[in-house]
Amino acid sequence: MIFFTHHFILKNFIFFSFLFLICGQISTAQPQIDWIVQENLSPYGTYGKSVSTNPDGSVYVSGGFIGPNHGNDSMSQGGYLIKYNSAGNLIWQKMLYTRNVGDIGVLNAADSHGNVFIGRKYSNNLQFGDSMYYGSGMFFFKYNSAGNLMFSKGFPYAQALKIRIDRNDNIFIAGYLNTDYTSLYDGNILNTSSFLAKYDNGGNLLWVKDFFFPFGDYGSSDLFIDSHHNIYSAGTFTGTKQITSSVSIT
């Protein structure tokens, strides 16, 4: 099975997000589209950012929306997380609201037990359910398969760029610090602009490494964890070729 997310622009420049499933086997036969789901969460734009699957065949899709979607509340932009079953039927939906000029483009990754972890960035406060984070920064949440919030974390000045899960259900976050001075990330002082953090499944920080160059936020950054727990990262940087105090690019 191959899952795709895509977005397109209509003539009136309204963005929609849709998800479609292609089912096929390893053969010369052409795969067939099994189902398509379209979401339009705002009249001013909705797009898909991230997709992951569960062992039971259900699907998590997340992304952002632009424009009012919260009645008269000024928290009018933000992101979403939606769970579909294997037939493409909506199971539950979570919304996050902010005052961003733009959207927060929610990332997601699911573990082997059907839990899903989301993260990204926000500015000018973030509302989720009955809770609120003030200011600007990064959010990192865990939901179980029933849609219950298991933990929520927020970090000032930071943003998550990629989220990956290894075979032991540990979570890795590649991120960037939006500050030119020393920052405190989850109780750790970081002196550089980028970081790679590892969490256990309960959201406890195991370690964090910082880097002098930022992981690119232009679609080129990525993370991969192999079967031996080695971590690979690709991204962009500008300026110095120094990665850490002892490692540089030659």
Distance CA 244, CA 247 (A): 5
Residue of 64, 63, 88, 90 lying closest to 78 (CA atoms): 64
Across the chain, which distance is largest between two alpha carbons, in Å? 56
Q: How far apart are the first and last CA of the chain?
A: 41
Per residue in 127-172, pLDDT tens?
898 888 988 889 999 999 999 999 999 998 888 989 999 999 999 9
Chain center to CA of 122: 12
Q: What integer pLDDT is reported at residue 85 of this predicted model?
A: 95
Distance CA 97, CA 41 (A): 12
Strands 194-199, 188-190: pairing is unpaired
Enter the tokens of residue 95: 């919304």
Q: What integer pLDDT is reported at residue 218 of this predicted model?
A: 40
Q: Are 48 and 7 in contact (CB under 8 A)?
A: yes
Per residue in 78-131, pLDDT tens?
899 999 999 999 999 999 988 765 558 899 999 999 999 999 988 888 889 888
